[in-house]
Amino acid sequence: MKIFLNRKRKSYFDLKKCLLILVLCIHLGNYTTNAQLVTYSNEFLNIGIDAASLAQGNSVISSIDGVCSGYWNPAGLTSLKTSMEVSAMHTNYFSGLAQFDFIGMAYKISDSLALGFSLIRFGVDDIPNTLNLVDENGNVDYDRITYFSVSDYALFLSIAKKTKIHNLNWGANIKLIYRRQGEFANAFGFGFDLGIKYNYYKWKFGAVLRDATSTFNMWIFNKKLFEEVFAATNNQMPTNTLELTLPKLLIGVAREFKFNSKITMLTEIDLDSHFDGEHHSLIKAKPLSIDPHIGLQLSYLRNIFIRAGVDRFQLIEDFDKQNKLTFQPSVGIGFSFYNFSLDYALTDIGDQAIAPISHIFSLKYAFGKQIN
């Protein structure tokens, strides 16, 4: 009787083990071709950095300056007010399930040339691996559970330079990408971003061509971990593959309004244009999809800031077959005291019924002598 129960338990957990592997198959099966275009590749790079920018609905392409320009628009690095700036941000998503971290540094070599460094990590840690939960005798052994992380890393190396045309700057990024899915798979990638900024009196204009030459991710799979189960279930083994992310164009227009000597307001409208097929965007037509977003910043003495923005407009069909307009609002405040800045953003990463709102803080410090 005991032998029969052990065999029954073993069969049950073997089935459970196969189901877990099949789930992994479905995920990894997206990469079985030698090279392919992926609409939502490297999405962790679209979350955004800097609480001040996130509070404005990511509408900063034309107005961004300083250390965070390395991510948003590298052309803004030339607007550094001191010789060097550093910034850091940490936040949790999905009730602490996912962690997002950013650290950046920018250095102004001269009045017309600046360099930047940015590092981003987005990951889910301590995921239990129960594939070996059952031993050879069909017994459950919790000591056989191991843990792994699914994490994405990106390193931005940026350069920016002023041109001979007054108030026209250009910048560029080299992006180095590393993505790891525990011991199952990892990817190495690289890409380029190009950006420009132009100021005309109180108007600001900016444009960024992200993934300018397409971003390439090379996926490598550890087949030994699941080769036996794949063969037993007649599943196709994933092969090492090249994943391509097509370019997208981000453009922005901003204007500053000065009410008096103490109060000013900056408003910006950005348009994100995708060329890799029809997205779930407000404006969409093959092969172009456009996502608009709007932000504003009210400042008092350039030391106290109130920010708001609206992003991710979408038309979603409800149960009555009627299109419903949804969007992602965000608000925030900021304080600047001498060379130190603290910013806070309250935003939503989607539908609040699915994921809670996020509290985001970022710090910035500028040091070195003032450059006129």
Mean pLDDT for 313-327 is 78
Q: Which helix (H) or strand (E) holds 21?
A: helix 2-28
| Domain 2-370 = CATH 3.40.50.2000 | no
Q: Three-state DSSP class for 353? A: coil
Instruction: Count the Cβ atoms, other than its own, within 10 Å of residue 217.
Output: 21
| Dihedral (CA of 297, 47, 78, 196) sign | negative
Q: pLDDT band at 104, cuts 50/70/90?
A: very high
What confidence tens digit (pLDDT) does each residue in 244-267 have? 888 999 999 999 999 999 999 999
Q: Are 363 and 342 in contact (CB under 8 A)?
A: yes
pLDDT of residue 363: 96
Q: Where are the domains of the chain?
A: 2-370
| Dihedral (CA of 36, 40, 45, 46) sign | positive
Indicate the average pLDDT of the chain: 83
pLDDT of residue 36: 60
pLDDT of residue 154: 96
Report field, pTM of the whole predicted structure over 0.95: no
What confidence tens digit (pLDDT) does each residue in 155-210 have? 999 999 999 999 999 999 999 999 998 888 899 999 999 999 999 989 999 999 99
Q: pLDDT band at 109, cuts 50/70/90?
A: very high
H/E/C letters for each residue in 240-304? Answer: CEEEEECCEEEEEEEEEEECCCCEEEEEEEEEEEECCCCCCCCEEECCEEEEEEEEEEEEECCCE
